[in-house]
Structure 1
């Protein structure tokens, strides 16, 4: 079983300026005391981004720190809390915050719930119904400032759970796939939204919403990105927010899409702005959109996985929106080859990045391989004509977790 790191992001509460106590999404029915707990704001480690909890008050560690060259003013940070087992299953977590939020600053709280060994709901604003009833959750607290040197300060976060009528519940389904414009991320030396330091030929992707950001060192949310002719694909974890927008989960239906609900499902706001003049050709920050990008590709995905030489359209499958048995790619660090059949000499169809969480459709027997989890002749089909050795997939079981192909 994969170890879940101390993590959790929070996106819902935008506190007004001054000393404030605010409730993030008051539940329709009060949660019992047994379902309440207080966030530990003092424990900050390598999973957290630009925050300090000295003295039990959470604030930005560097009020003039910018993750990448694209962030030219203000600062941001996040604290990812440990997974929390609930006293009783629930589908909603509310947050009451005590914080100082000077003008131009905000504090946000997001929650997600565990639905399987490797599986989670998307990050959801506190007080919003999760898309499944769950027994454990994680919370993420995000701090933002529009002005260098000005920081919010969070003194207390009280969390509670309840259950509300289930809306848009998760159902067994095939993961969504859309054709969107992809751009090369670059930004080597910068830091992603989950705190990963970007290196040369890196392997991750970025979407314009925090709902699908995997905690550092995980691939809980992974995308399969393919050239439009299907000749090359890469399975890569989502570690960054962008391009353009920050709240455009365009792969979701309008009922749960955070913004731009009048756009068709699968159409990024940037694409509509650039091609159709939507929103006055602006993104959600008021910038004029210069390309229709719906995904950013780290250099390794762009050059090595897909063999791209210029920005262009790709087919993207948002794997976390589907269901079925899953496994997490676990290598010494480099991505592994995805083969056209269960043979080490079969054609290479692309790459699967370390940490990527892939859906296992079925399994076959083939060449014997010695990998991170022993020696086996079992190969898993993770996509159409895509096979990887089971010895590199962490599934939580020593036996196949999917049926024979």
Structure 2
């Protein structure tokens, strides 16, 4: 069985992630993270005497189907005086065999908009795709058995000329991927969400695009061959792998850097015998899935009856106006026109991020965001009422 752990070190080890951190130079900012509290954005971790550990009830990501407990401590955003594009980290931790500690970093790029999470590694800082003045850090802890423990986290934000190699595209990166139905009702996702019947979310095989519970910062648009689409948040990690951000270019892909951008490792293993036909855990790959769909997304949003090839657009990789679906809980109908009597051509899950192509005047609707006769076109021939979408700025007329 092949396993990869970021920090496979013995007990009582002081670890460094990113560049060594001497005294901050001009334009650099240093700080020590507060590890003393856990709040609603955290999942599967507990803190005692300033040390962070996995909670006894830390979930194993349902979609990964691997017996590895996972937890996240998401720290409060940090605002700096001048733009930065890199963060180095120094970690003091105890990491038993079979456990891992990782430091992820992201930057704010607009109202509720963030870059993808990037890992600060022992040999390199986290480099963001653009300079920002607000950064956020999270600790990711995993373990097969005994939990790791983190007692200190020191951070340094600065500017580097090194490029992340990630360029935002207007519509977002989009690939044809094999989708499977997740099911697993009653299970717990990587972000702590308990799966309910006909749920609406997706799983991707990397935590880089994992949204916190009850948010849709990282969402996808999934479209089936029948023309239906659903916009849904990423709430779980899997299928098969947990370190396969296949949508990213090879230069920044976490693992499997020799695969072409847009090709999941599971697909390469299944179709081409890549990695001996196995996933990162050494399991024989039984299908080429690069995304798992919750039952509601699978059955109601896309009207699928079996696993199928779909086109997935990773919403956070796009640019331009965007907003978030806000309903009382049920998904929002996506219509073929700017009226509630137009045919339903898909669904947009509560919390999901949607990219707005343009706006039109249509039927007046009252929803969570008030009353409006504006409708947003979020794909060709697909519209949602502004009354249920928050955060959109700068949308132009169609």
Normalised TM-score (structure 2)? 0.93
Question: How far has the Cα of 1:197 moved from its partner?
Answer: 1.3
Counterpart CA distance in 2 for 1:366 and 1:74 is 49
Question: How far has the Cα of 1:88 moved from its partner?
Answer: 2.4
**Partner SS for 1:391:** helix
1:18 maps onto 2:11 in alignment: yes
Equivalence for 1:182: 179
Question: How far has the Cα of 1:65 moved from its partner?
Answer: 5.5
Counterpart CA distance in 2 for 1:324 and 1:184 is 31
1:285 corresponds to which of 254, 274, 281: 281
**Partner SS for 2:299:** helix
**Partner SS for 1:280:** helix
Deviations 1:125-182 (A, max 9, x none): 12121111011111110112122xx121111111111111041253453312211110
1:4-403 counterparts in 2 under 5 A?
A: 14=7, 16-26=9-19, 31-32=24-25, 35-62=29-56, 66-68=60-62, 71=65, 73-126=67-120, 127-147=125-145, 150-167=146-163, 168=165, 170-230=167-227, 232-395=228-391, 401-403=394-396
Counterpart CA distance in 2 for 1:197 and 1:258 is 28
Counterpart CA distance in 2 for 1:343 and 1:237 is 25
Task: Tell me if structure 2 keeps the 8 A contact 1:91–1:130.
Answer: yes
Question: What root-mean-square deviation, in Å, do the aligned CA atoms of Structure 1 and Structure 2 show?
Answer: 2.1
Is there any run of 5+ residues in structure 1 with no aligned partner, and where?
A: 1-10
Deviations 1:282-302 (A, max 9, x none): 111111101000100001100
Counterpart CA distance in 2 for 1:259 and 1:64 is 25
Deviations 1:362-392 (A, max 9, x none): 1000111111111111111011111011111
**Partner SS for 2:180:** strand
Equivalence for 1:8: none
More displaced 10-residue stretch of structure 1: 328-337 or 103-112: 103-112
Deviations 1:324-351 (A, max 9, x none): 1111111111100000010110010100
Counterpart CA distance in 2 for 1:333 and 1:118 is 20
Counterpart CA distance in 1 for 2:288 and 2:81 is 45
The verdict on how the C-alpha distance between 1:263 and 1:169 changes in structure 2, with shifts beyond 3 A counting, is closer
Counterpart CA distance in 2 for 1:64 and 1:28 is 32
Task: Tell me if structure 2 keeps the 8 A contact 1:17–1:105.
Answer: no
Task: Tell me if structure 1 keeps the 8 A contact 2:199–2:296.
Answer: yes
Task: Tell me if structure 2 keeps the 8 A contact 1:325–1:402.
Answer: yes
More displaced 10-residue stretch of structure 1: 301-310 or 47-56: 47-56
Task: Tell me if structure 1 keeps the 8 A contact 2:70–2:190.
Answer: no
**Partner SS for 1:47:** coil
The verdict on how the C-alpha distance between 1:181 and 1:67 changes in structure 2, with shifts beyond 3 A counting, is closer
Counterpart CA distance in 2 for 1:365 and 1:63 is 49
Deviations 1:203-224 (A, max 9, x none): 1011111110011111111111
Counterpart CA distance in 2 for 1:355 and 1:174 is 19
Normalised TM-score (structure 1)? 0.91
Question: How far has the Cα of 1:260 moved from its partner?
Answer: 1.4
| Number of matched pairs | 389
The verdict on how the C-alpha distance between 1:245 and 1:61 changes in structure 2, with shifts beyond 3 A counting, is same
Question: How far has the Cα of 1:66 moved from its partner?
Answer: 3.6
Deviations 1:2-56 (A, max 9, x none): xxxxxxxxx9952511212122110698644961122121211232222111211
Is there any run of 5+ residues in structure 2 with no aligned partner, and where?
A: none
